[in-house]
A = this chain, B = another copy of it.
Amino acid sequence: MNNRITNLFGIEYPIIAGGMVWCSGWRLAAAVSESGGLGLIGAGSMTPEVLQEHIAKCKAATSRPFGVNVPLMKPNSAEMMEVIAQEQVPVVFTSAGSPKKWTGWLHERGIKVAHVVASSTFARKCEEAGVDAVVAEGFEAGGHNGKEETTTMCLIPAARRATHLPLIAAGGIASGEAMLAARVLGAEGVQIGTLFALTQESGAHEAFKRRCLDLKEGDTKLLLRKLSPTRLVKGGFYDAIEEAENRGASPEELLEIIGIGKTKVGIFDGDIKNGELEIGQAASLLNGNDIEPVATVMQRLIFEYDQALASLRVEE
């Protein structure tokens, strides 16, 4: 599995664990990196102080490369970047903003940069901005999502044509077969969220994990198109938003319903009735699975990938 992605990040397998709010602390990031992938700490749900603590603990837990995901719409992203540079984190994934904003600054400090996009237009902008790799994330993905609603099946070939950069596919990838499908579509690596959010090392509450491992097809939907499209899990919080949207609620009213800190309530505190639950569509493919350690999940991904590839290599 050696390719431009493994070489760029200095990892064994081109598998990145997405930086997810309340899930992606140092435990998850370190476990993924220890298993040969690239773990990301998700700064989206952290203060700069908390991020610093997680980076320090991650360094203590693994000597392998790991990264931090920084959503650029956050007001404190400059402080986050200072912490990252100070701690000499080798890799940053930026998202939800312009790839031009931090790439030069990070490169000056010897930090590799990947940027997350949902369209080929932004994949092209990444190349102009000089980032090292592009993550193209399809409609299937959990949480915040692109306005175009382009699925992974359609987005990866489009991003592949738009840029020569190393390309990482995200959205709907929760098996080795899906990893190989992403490669066939033009990706050189995968960013996996859902599957890792539901492991033992994920910082999410057990009640959240159990709820997500019980989802059926259609139990996550993209809502909040009037604000920022977000894939949510059905339940109390979801119902309130869907009801408001169906009767034509304004962005202002939707903001009021969302309130503040609801992902913490749902994902970290485990109040699955009142909190905001974010997970990808691929959760329904994990229905009935146990909450497993990262090492088990990684081993299975690689086994499935190898098996799928071998089965194609049998001449017909």
- Closest residue of B by beta carbon distance from A150: B217
Residue in contact with A138 in the complex, picked from B119, B153, B177, B178, CB distance below 8 Å: B153
- Decide yes or no whether A285 CB sits under 8 A from chain B: yes
Inter-subunit contact A226/B246 (CB<8 Å): yes
Residue with the highest number of chain B CB atoms closer than 10 Å, among A147, A154, A175, A221: A154
Given A217-B155, A246-B226, does the pair A313, B316 have CB atoms closer than 8 Å?
no
Given A177-B185, A184-B181, A248-B247, does the pair A285, B151 have CB atoms closer than 8 Å?
no
- Closest residue of B by beta carbon distance from A176: B184
Give the chain B neighbours of A295 by CB distance below 8 A.
none
Q: How large is the interface on A (under 10, 10 to 19, 20 to 34, 35 or more residues)?
A: 35 or more
Copies of this protein in the complex: 2
- A177 to B150, alpha carbons, bound, how many Å? 17
- Decide yes or no whether A186 CB sits under 8 A from chain B: yes
Give the chain B neighbours of A175 by CB distance below 8 A.
157
- Decide yes or no whether A120 CB sits under 8 A from chain B: yes
- A155 to B139, alpha carbons, bound, how many Å? 13
Give the chain B neighbours of A2 by CB distance below 8 A.
316
Give the chain B neighbours of A158 by CB distance below 8 A.
217, 284-285
- Closest residue of B by beta carbon distance from A280: B154
- A189 to B284, alpha carbons, bound, how many Å? 23
Inter-subunit contact B157/A140 (CB<8 Å): no
Inter-subunit contact A153/B153 (CB<8 Å): yes
- Decide yes or no whether A309 CB sits under 8 A from chain B: yes
Inter-subunit contact B177/A153 (CB<8 Å): no
Inter-subunit contact A178/B172 (CB<8 Å): no
- A237-267 contacts to B, CB under 8 A, are 245-249
- A116 to B268, alpha carbons, bound, how many Å? 40
- Shortest CB-to-CB span from A223 to chain B, Å, is 11
Residue in contact with A217 in the complex, picked from B120, B181, B182, CB distance below 8 Å: B120
- Closest residue of B by beta carbon distance from A220: B149
Query: Knowing that A181-B181, A248-B249 are A-B contacts, what are 15 other residue pairs whose CB atoms are under 8 Å apart, sorted by A's residue number?
Result: A121-B217, A139-B139, A147-B218, A148-B217, A149-B221, A149-B281, A151-B152, A151-B281, A153-B282, A154-B281, A157-B175, A158-B285, A178-B185, A245-B248, A248-B248
Residue contacts A-B, CB under 8 angstroms, 16 given: A1-B316, A121-B217, A139-B139, A140-B151, A146-B218, A149-B218, A149-B222, A151-B151, A153-B172, A153-B178, A153-B181, A158-B285, A177-B184, A247-B248, A248-B249, A312-B313
For the complex of A and B, list the 3 residue pairs with the smallest distance between their C-beta atoms, beginning with the closest.
A248-B248, A148-B218, A153-B172
